[in-house]
Structure 1
Amino acid sequence: MKPVRLPAAATLALPRWALLALGLFYILPGLIGRDLWKEDAASFGIMWTMAHGTLVDWLYPNIAGLASVDEGPLAFWLGAVCIKLFGWLLGDVLAARVSTVGIFVLGTMSLWYTAFHLGRRAEAQPLRLAFGGQPEPDDYGRTLGDTAVLIYLGSLGLLLQSHLTLAATLQGALLAFFLYRAVRYVELAGTRNAVLVGIALGALTLTQGFLPPLVLLVALFACTRYLDLPTPRALRDLAVAAGVGFGITLIWIVPATVLQPYGLSPVADWLNWNAHQIGLPGWPALKAFFRIGIWFFWPAWPFALWAVWAWRRQQMLHIVLPVFFFLALVLQLLADPAPENSDFLKMLPPLALMAAFGLPTMKRGAINAIDWFSVMVLTMLSAIIWLFWIAKLTGWPAQLAKNALKLVPGFTPEIGVVTFIVAAGASVGWIMLVHWRLSRQPAVLWRAVVLSSGGLILLWVLLMTLFLPDLNYGKSYAGVAQQIAARLPADANCIATNVGAAQRASLAFYGRLPFVTLAGGKCDYVLLQDSLRNRRDATLLPKWNVRDAVPLWEGRRASDRDERFRLFRQKP
């Protein structure tokens, strides 16, 4: 027997304007007004180098001359195109983030339509009520689409990752698009849908390598076996999908192999990186999965687990398909020798999808408990953020003011009128949302997650408005870049350096420093990065032929007491 029993009143769709407003409040803060941070400066550096470089820079991703072929080029192509189109109007940094907005829209829309198509299938419908009044299939599908998006937006792991210009961010959105195309294929197996599945696979390959698409293709075939779809047709269609996906990767592989940009082979390096992304699963990887996943997937994973339990007696597409994909991606992650937080992002769409189908089976008491937890915790955290903001401006309470400013020594806080209005408006909106939920006691299905999603968005808006100047001051290398540029002669030919990828991108962009390119050459200047706590002059300086060189500058970010940069001029 189906575990869902709902009246039509519970499937009232969230107003489109409300969903759009929620999405805008989610994605725009953290993009507008934010300097380059270490978390995504390297990715921006590749986009910026492409946009202001030549064809070889588009074929061989690099950060102002530092090779970076550990991932596919697609995400960087998108950012570079946006810089070309909008850089003159928005500035290069914000223009690159236009692609981030597009990626966010792709991911959320794909997830919504996936839940919608699964939700209106006959086997997913609630039990028919004795006297009628059950929801219509399309209404139920729309409600599940809204619910899946709200759970997706309310997940902690998505919050930071979706605001960064990373290849992993695009991979997460493409995974949601692949889910949608896979559902459409299972609903109507055929060459057309197989080709569209292949397009998703090809885009995933050009984003972060061939391993995730291969895993997903195997999972999709296993799903067709579990659902008893005709084996010959499934094999033929998935072969078409694989062929289309491979053909799309040739858009980059062929010209990069033939032209050999900078006399190098980016494809060979990329394939070598792919080969090192798989190993034998072990206890450290499993422990890392639970340690990171328990907060990264919150609050989606409790709903998802309940969905699997509630539908355990049913072999339904809306549970089988996301479970198969999620488990396949988990196995891939466990086999990764060095998984990163961003690698968890691709597992979030199938988990949010499962969670959306688990929510209708939950008891009213559990839903109310979730609501009260969200109201109390998120309201308290929002109040703490406001209190810290007041403390840093006024000095009261003194301990809070000290804690707020100790991470940004030398920073002078100021009131931003626009940011204050946005933060205050978001806080008023939260109060109105809580009042609506608690006073009207709506019966709609998505009521259980609207507060958790809205509260998380409020916290993000407050941080990205009230504390954005502090974060920019502490994380940006703009000041260091400008100091170096001021000491560097205008006729400097090039700079050899050991700085990291993120620092190189920031210094090249903010200071327009002429770092040595992939073509190589002898540079008259050397910029070295090291640690004040671990001086390595005995090995570092000779390695870069800094023996009798003239020191021109030494400095660091005011907020970093450990990192140090030094600029030298080589003697002829």
Structure 2
Amino acid sequence: MKRVRITASATSALPRSLLIAICVIYVLAGLFGRDPWKNEDAAGFGVMWTMAHGQFSDWLLPNIAGKPAFENGPLIFWLGALVIRLLDRWVNAPDAARIVTGLCFYATCTFVWYGTYLLGRRPEVQPFKYAFGGEPEPRDYGRTLADGALLILLACFGLAERGHETTAGVGQLTLVTMAAYGLVRSLDKPRQGAAWFGVAIGGLALASTPLVTLTLWIAGLAAAVLCRALPLRLIAVVSTPIAALIAASWPAAALQWAPGARQWLGEWGDVGVDSFSGPSFESLAYTAKNFALFAWPAWPLAAWSLYTWRGLRRAPHVAIPIALAVPVFVLVLLQAHQGNRLYMLLLPTLSIVAAFGLPTLKRGTVNAIDWFAVLSFTVLAGFVWVVWLAGLTGFPASTTRNLYRLVPGFKPEFSWITLISAILVTGAWVALVAWRVSRSPKVLWRSVVLSGGGTTLMWVLLMTLWLPVVNYGRTYRDVAAQIAAHLPPDYQCIRTARVGDAQLASFAYFGKMRFGTSDDDCDVLLRQDTQDYGAPLSVAPYEWRLLWEGRRAADRDERFRLYVLQERPWRKPSRR
């Protein structure tokens, strides 16, 4: 490709205070002051809470109130459980666990920024040098591209909710980004970069599954083969022992001190492989329908960047992120069940590639992206305000009816803090749009600042104005209270049937219930049904008696039934 032609004025720095403010507000909004939400958010919290209040074996073999959790390794759960225990006297458990979520997200942002900055300073990506000067300095150019990459990451639609959940996925996002940073760092500091890459792969082995870890390790070595600037031999020699040592530490400890560790680790490996045993029609259809929106606007900008840099696809700024992104996308396509859990791991590398396409965007394309952001986010923000007002005032009546149809029983409450926060973020959006329209700046990051600001606007409005209704619709607090109120005071333990991980975690936390395993002789049974299966089978001289049945007000599919085991009443035989 031809050299990019831009002037130094196009790399005017985005004010540090503005960039930091966007990141801080984006992460803090919706992080605290809410319950664990259905589904994976509550399940991840359940593992952390079980560890924090359990025995040493619970730390080595992740579980939710005794039910094994094979989907991921324990690293992120360890961090969450540790914070829960440290802050137990001052912060409630869900908020304490989400401190780890916020720190992981900030670390991800840091690795994306610095990785892009290092790539943006390299000679092969520098703009055309004019005869009389005027081109940007490498440091300024790299910093502008790094700002763009971070704004693109924050602008991705799917990251807002996923990035605020109490799951291992947020930690995996950080570790994948750390691996990319390590490869980039090895370009100028080979040993340091290889060590970063090894720590990231080792951490990923403790936070995910063996297959995902092996895939990313091979992808890193493939990047070093594709990009000759990377020190392949040094990366392999330095990173592999570090990664292997970290990865082996937890299984070795579990085998030494946790009963049943061999079976648990075998299930963990099998589940990690079975999850990618081959696509189904439903999983492929789900990906085709949802991935484009989840990764917007990173994927179209990344595609444009690949096109414009097609002559330098083995250069580090293209080869490294793409080599890490392609295997993850293959895993996405091989998922046996539909879900967007892995989509998040693609966003950092796509954002880095996308940033290098910003200098080559035409003015018409930039204007189209900006106006799309202005129109879409302004309309959506207006809709959020209208629904909030309808919930409080009852006007417009049709919106109010639709709201209470979705969340029957919800009672809105007015909060000055909520209102002021929403007004401030809306005012900031109006000021940002006015600045972009009136000034028409020529800086590179102008094409994504509105998208990043708009996504932040929407997330903050949802987590202020709509937080009560969203929390009401996605928590199991009320159901847990109802179940706990109907439990016999002297019950031994609760056996479950078809109860999901999120429900089990919520009931254990909110209701302080004692759950048993399949080997325990429990005298209480809790079932989750989507249809009426009839009463459970009884074994003479005992029978199951229904104590309670109900569901969340906002969920019409789930229904819970609580039974207690009792002796059948003795009946005097009748005379004939």
Same fold (TM over 0.5): yes
Q: Give, in angstroms, the shift of residue 463 of structure 1.
A: 1.2
* Alignment correspondent of 1:93: 94
Aligned length in residues: 564
Q: Give, in angstroms, the shift of residue 302 of structure 1.
A: 1.2
1:29-178 equivalences under 5 Å are 29-39=29-39, 40-178=41-179
Contact 1:310-1:358 at 8 Å conserved across structures: yes
Q: Give, in angstroms, the shift of residue 535 of structure 1.
A: 0.8
* Alignment correspondent of 2:353: 354
Contact 1:60-1:261 at 8 Å conserved across structures: no
Report the Cα distance in structure 2 between the residues aligned to 1:562 and 1:234, rounded to whole angstroms. 53
Secondary structure of the equivalent of 1:338?
Answer: coil
For 1:460, the aligned partner's letter is W
Q: Which one has a larger percent helix, Structure 1 or Structure 2?
A: 1
**Residue in structure 2 matching 1:301, options 299, 312, 316:** 299
* Alignment correspondent of 2:571: none
Contact 1:551-1:567 at 8 Å conserved across structures: yes
Q: Give, in angstroms, the shift of residue 25 of structure 1.
A: 1.6
Matched, 1:384 2:383: yes
Name whichever of 350-359 and 463-472 sits farther off: 463-472
Secondary structure of the equivalent of 1:200?
Answer: helix
Secondary structure of the equivalent of 1:37?
Answer: coil
Contact 1:282-1:334 at 8 Å conserved across structures: no
Secondary structure of the equivalent of 2:311?
Answer: coil
Q: Give, in angstroms, the shift of residue 288 of structure 1.
A: 4.3
Name whichever of 120-129 and 93-102 sits farther off: 120-129
The CA RMSD measured in Å over matched residues stands at 2.1
Contact 1:8-1:135 at 8 Å conserved across structures: yes
For 2:306, the aligned partner's letter is V
Matched, 1:291 2:289: yes
Q: Give, in angstroms, the shift of residue 284 of structure 1.
A: 6.4
* Alignment correspondent of 2:532: 535
* Alignment correspondent of 2:13: 13
Report the Cα distance in structure 2 between the residues aligned to 1:183 and 1:486, rounded to whole angstroms. 57
Contact 1:300-1:351 at 8 Å conserved across structures: yes
Q: Give, in angstroms, the shift of residue 310 of structure 1.
A: 0.7
Report the Cα distance in structure 2 between the residues aligned to 1:123 and 1:290, rounded to whole angstroms. 35
Contact 2:283-2:339 at 8 Å conserved across structures: no
* Alignment correspondent of 2:227: 227
Q: Give, in angstroms, the shift of residue 125 of structure 1.
A: 1.0
**Gap runs ≥5 in structure 2:** 568-576
Contact 1:111-1:349 at 8 Å conserved across structures: yes
Contact 1:546-1:570 at 8 Å conserved across structures: no
* Alignment correspondent of 2:467: 468
Secondary structure of the equivalent of 1:554?
Answer: strand
* Alignment correspondent of 2:274: 276
Contact 2:227-2:320 at 8 Å conserved across structures: no
Report the Cα distance in structure 2 between the residues aligned to 1:305 and 1:22, rounded to whole angstroms. 26
**Residue in structure 1 matching 2:554, options 552, 559, 562:** 559
Report the Cα distance in structure 2 between the residues aligned to 1:247 and 1:222, rounded to whole angstroms. 22
Name whichever of 192-201 and 499-508 sits farther off: 192-201
Q: Give, in angstroms, the shift of residue 362 of structure 1.
A: 0.7
CA deviation digits over 1:186-238, x for unaligned, max 9? 33433x432321110011111111222322222222222223358xx624531
Report the Cα distance in structure 2 between the residues aligned to 1:284 and 1:243, rounded to whole angstroms. 40
* Alignment correspondent of 1:310: 308
TM-score by length of 1: 0.94
Q: Give, in angstroms, the shift of residue 262 of structure 1.
A: 5.8
Contact 2:493-2:514 at 8 Å conserved across structures: yes
* Alignment correspondent of 1:340: 339
Report the Cα distance in structure 1 between the residues aligned to 2:284 and 2:552, rounded to whole angstroms. 37
Contact 1:3-1:310 at 8 Å conserved across structures: no
Report the Cα distance in structure 1 between the residues aligned to 2:78 and 2:91, rounded to whole angstroms. 18
* Alignment correspondent of 1:523: 522
Secondary structure of the equivalent of 1:562?
Answer: coil
Q: Give, in angstroms, the shift of residue 289 of structure 1.
A: 3.6
* Alignment correspondent of 1:481: 480
Q: Give, in angstroms, the shift of residue 254 of structure 1.
A: 0.6
Contact 2:177-2:349 at 8 Å conserved across structures: yes
Secondary structure of the equivalent of 2:221?
Answer: helix
* Alignment correspondent of 1:426: 425
| Change beyond 3 A, Cα 1:262–1:234 | closer
Contact 2:10-2:442 at 8 Å conserved across structures: yes
Contact 2:366-2:447 at 8 Å conserved across structures: yes
| Change beyond 3 A, Cα 1:300–1:279 | same
Q: Give, in angstroms, the shift of residue 282 of structure 1.
A: 7.5
**Gap runs ≥5 in structure 1:** none
For 1:415, the aligned partner's letter is F
Contact 2:153-2:298 at 8 Å conserved across structures: yes
Q: Give, in angstroms, the shift of residue 285 of structure 1.
A: 5.5
Report the Cα distance in structure 1 between the residues aligned to 2:114 and 2:239, rounded to whole angstroms. 21
